[in-house]
Structure 1
Amino acid sequence: MIKAGPEALSNEELLAVLLRTGKKGKHVLELSKELFRRFDNSLVKLMNASVEEIAAIEGVGIVKAVTLKAALELGKRLHRELEQVPEKLDSAGKVYRYCQDMVYLEKEVVKVVCLDRRLNVLSESVITVGTSDRSLVHPRDVFRVAIRSNASGVIVVHNHPSGDPTPSKEDRAITKNLKRVGEILGIELVDHVIISKRGYYSFREEGEI
């Protein structure tokens, strides 16, 4: 790596650098290859795996698993920085890029992005992690975050692991409820954006807010 640079190394070799050591009777590169195979040679699947799932592989353990998860998280954050994420979320397209890290998640996650009057980002919070095909959103969780941030508006974002961003009946009902509660509290529901591998669906762009 020092001689040729990190670009010259395979995924397995880069993982071996992070693992540092192998186990009795198995070189670190062999352990790295075994680890990568367990997750179908996919960095996305490895990223989505829990620390416990990675640590359960013989020869890995908690310390190495935590190191791998930390490195993958840094990779996600670097990707966001390189994408020059806009601070002003005045379009669904910008929201989609801002929440790009949610596209590959295997469970539904609901995120609330709090905005000021000019649609600049004040804060963001994950409020719900659901199953692989369903999440639960309650207005109190959404607007509790907004009130703490002294937000003028919120954008609710959630992913569809299936890859299809088309809203369900439940998604539409939740959106109507959030809009109604926001009007009562004086905090605007700026948009509800569903994101997936195949694009996004914006309730505002579609005239449903």
Structure 2
Amino acid sequence: MLRQLGLPAIAEVDRFFAFFTSGDQLRYASQQQRRAYVAGDSRRWGLLTAIELGRWVQLAPRQFVGQVLSSSQLGQCLIDELRYLGQERVDVLLLDNQHRILLRQPVFQGTLNQCPVHPREIFQLAVLHEAAGLIIAHNHPSGSVTPSTEDLAFVRRVVQCGELMGIPLLDAFVVGATTYFSWREQGVLPLQQ
């Protein structure tokens, strides 16, 4: 950061810690104390601003996209959002332990009747966002919500990966034009071994 601001690193670190010997001294420093540190070199304001932004980001509460209350509630939302897509698309919803949605993101876009999918990308996102569970959803542009044999095989792979990773697949959806298929509602999840 000091190099980016054009400040001599070693000398500036010594100066900074001469003025602010601890984090709380900087946090509660008055404007007069901050101006004394800056001493006419406006680049030092950039350093103080960067530190303040870092503290602000660290204290910011996590934002949630929504909350999953039931498969039927989520299924209706998915119909509204996926039914008119001309290609198959797989979305993942990452949830915390209270079923609040941390992230909803498309992970694959396919063709009219198939979507090459691998659990690797799904679980990479789940680990990155510290998800406690996940839901996958994809549309069938044909309008049919009957899961294909590929759908069944894919859901089985995601369940197995989730068991290994400790991030369970809570539900999976196939979305059509006016209805949906939920593995959880149909009693398919959890999978029987």
Q: What range describes the TM-score normalised by the shorter chain of this pair?
A: 0.5 to 0.7
Q: Which residue of 2 aligns with 1:131?
A: 111
Q: CA deviation at 1:97?
A: 2.9
Whichever of the two has the greater Rg, that structure is 2
**Unaligned regions of 5+ residues in structure 2, if any?**
1-64
1:141 shift after superposition = 1.0
Instruction: Tell me which residue corresponds to 2:99.
Output: 119
Instruction: Give the Cα separation in 2 of the matches to 1:200 and 1:111.
Output: 14
* Matches for 1:24-173 after TM superposition, within 5 Å: 87-99=66-78, 100-173=80-153
Out of 169, 172, 177, the position equivalent to 1:189 is 169
Offset, 1:128: 0.4
Post-superposition offset of 1:184: 0.4
TM-score (norm 1): 0.57
Q: Say if 1:125 and 1:145, in contact at 8 Å, map to a contact too.
A: no
The percentage of counterpart residues that share the same residue type is 35
Alpha-carbon distance, 1:116 to partner: 0.5
Task: Give, in whole Å, the separation in 2 of the partners of 1:153 and 1:94.
Answer: 18
Query: Letter of the aligned partner of 2:114 in structure 1?
Result: R
Distance in 2 between the 1:113 and 1:151 partners?
A: 9
Mapped pair 1:205 → 2:155: no
Aligned partners of 1:112 and 1:155 also within 8 Å:
yes
Runs of at least 5 residues in structure 1 that lack an aligned partner in the other structure: 1-85
Q: How much has 1:95 moved relative to structure 2?
A: 1.6
| 1:154 positional shift | 0.5
CA distance in 2, matches of 1:114, 1:188: 10
What is the aligned-residue RMSD (CA, Å)?
Answer: 1.3
The answer to whether the 8 Å contact 2:75/2:182 transfers is no
- What is the Cα deviation at residue 148 of structure 1? 1.3
**What is the CA distance between 1:198 and its match in structure 2?**
2.7
